Copies of this chain bind each other. A is one copy, B any other.
Amino acid sequence: MSRAADHAYAEIRSLILSGEASPGSPLTEEQLAQLCSVSRTPVRDALRRLEVELYVVRSDSQRVFVADWSREDVDEMFTLRGMLEAHAAARAAKRFDAADLHALRRCNAAIEEAVRHPQPDIAGFLDANRDFHRIIVEIARSPRLAATLATLVEQPVVRRTAMRYGREQLAQSVQEHRELIQAFEARDADWAHGVMTGHIRRAFHAFSSHAA
């Protein structure tokens, strides 16, 4: 994917993440093309990617809409994510090297930093948190697993809801990451598996309790 298509992808994606394009609203190729100052061709490519990543859905007649996640959808997503990320964590606990561990620590420090202030920087938290989880998946060295998870992790609904998280939930998250790192240091795959399972489950509960 090259310049114009990448640009269109990023632009449309942020349109959705920011909430400017609300869930369920239709997206037409022409309109997006004008918005991005490109032709319909790269827009079509971008929409295909966004479709795979579940940002948008296609109707039977090929019209594209901003994805609208039901409670069941979110539930399903967290369930799959828990299963797959726990597996990733178990694999990673057996495969990481010193540099990986260092990267994880640095990343968790960044998360902590974002949470510390009286007014937590939740966007910063979400970005660093995403990185943390991504690093673990990277360490697991399982490209298909990584590809699958990539389509599940950064969901607009979840992200928007997370904006309402309280300090305790954020701090709790940091703590769980710490335990995960401990499990890594012990090279204990089962421990890592369990911690990650609980971590994702609690994230789901946090989501549920903050959802509108």
| Residues in chain A within 8 A of chain B (CB atoms) | 1-2, 45, 48, 52, 54, 62, 73, 76-77, 79-80, 83-84, 87, 142-145, 148, 152
How many chain copies does the complex carry? 2
Q: Could you say which of B48, B76, B144 contacts A54, with CB atoms under 8 Å apart?
A: B144
Chain A at the B interface: SS class: helix
Q: Could you say which of B73, B87, B148 contacts A148, with CB atoms under 8 Å apart?
A: B148
Quick check: A144 and B45 within 8 Å, CB to CB?
Answer: no
Q: Could you say which of B1, B48, B77, B87 contacts A83, with CB atoms under 8 Å apart?
A: B87
Quick check: B2 and A145 within 8 Å, CB to CB?
Answer: no
Quick check: A52 and B52 within 8 Å, CB to CB?
Answer: yes
**A62 and B2 in contact, given A45-B48, A83-B83, A83-B87 (Cβ under 8 angstroms):** yes
Given contacts A76-B143, A77-B144, A80-B142, 12 further A-B contacts (CB under 8 A): A1-B62, A48-B48, A52-B52, A54-B144, A76-B142, A76-B145, A79-B87, A80-B145, A80-B148, A83-B83, A144-B152, A148-B148
